[in-house]
Structure 1
Amino acid sequence: MSGIVVVAENGQGRYQQAVTVGQHQLIADEPPSLGGADAGPAPFDFVMAGLGACTAITLRMYAERKGIALTHVSVSLSHAKIDVDGVARDHIERSITLLGTLTDEQRQRLLEIANKCPVHRALSSSFVIASTLASSGITPQAQ
């Protein structure tokens, strides 16, 4: 893993964020329909990108380890809200394309392995997110 991810407003747009992941610099933003300038992927796009990348990498590692003739992996994802028992839930549709000389059994096993990638497991379970306020170094003005 890359370690700490830092996200901060970059002053370039209403919702634009500078995202620093190790040595990598990314931009996050909202689409115009939500008041952003679409200068970068929206937050859920990053979630889906993480799931897609983890899926493809996990499948590649498994195929290499097992000597499976997987020549290419592609993962397409979309996000929507759906109603589950009267509650709006986030739903990610993930379509995995596997190329190579694969048997039906290998294809089925690769689908099972895709569901075991670390990001899939994390998203499928309940996260524990601990939030704290960092010291800003700025003291409030007395009124």
Structure 2
Amino acid sequence: MEVKVHRGEGKLQHVIEIGPHRLLTDAPAAYGGEASGPEPHDLLAASLAACTALTVTMYARRKNMDLRDIDVRVEHRQQDGVFVLERHIAYVGDLSEDDRRRLNEIADKCPVHKTLSGQIRIVSRAD
């Protein structure tokens, strides 16, 4: 999958193209943007939240758990020189404590969580 980003219509707005999908990203007004879309760190947090919800839902279905809904909220901030992603997960359904504990373990195995927790290499090339 290739992700493309190009200039949008606003002062700092950019259009993100992911296959057939298009999203906007921008900076808050305090940084010279127009807040016409989420800023990049918000998109990173959204990726973790979405991956968590999808991974846990697929697992619960495979195991016939009574997970009727899942709400994932990710807060992010810089703290003591470290970028912190704080994930809050609320499970809706008739689940035992063992089920909830197992779903928390599965949440930690979602692909985005594993990517962010592992080693990342970014290679930049000027075209």
Q: What range describes the TM-score normalised by the shorter chain of this pair?
A: over 0.9
1:112-123 alignment runs, 5 A limit? 112-123=105-116
Query: Paired residue for 2:57, among 56, 60, 72?
Result: 60
Q: Percent identity?
A: 40
User: Hey, which bits of structure 1, 4+ residues long, moved more than 3 A?
Assistant: none
Partner of 1:101: 94
Measure how far apart 1:18 and its partner are. Answer: 0.7
The total of aligned residue pairs comes to 127
Measure how far apart 1:13 and its partner are. Answer: 1.6
Unpaired segments ≥5 residues, structure 1? 135-143
Q: TM-score of the superposition, structure 2-length normalised? A: 0.97
**Paired residue secondary structure (1:58):** helix
Letter in 1 for 2:102: R
1:3-18 alignment runs, 5 A limit? 3-10=1-8, 12-18=9-15
CA distance in 2, matches of 1:74, 1:5: 27
CA distance in 2, matches of 1:129, 1:54: 21
Q: TM-score of the superposition, structure 1-length normalised? A: 0.87
Partner of 2:125: 132
Q: Which has the higher Rg, Structure 1 or Structure 2?
A: 1
Structure 1, residues 46-88: CA drift from partner, whole Å, max 9, x if none? 10111110000000010011111100011011111111xxxx0
Q: Please report the RMSD computed on the Cα atoms of aligned residues, expressed in angstroms.
A: 0.7
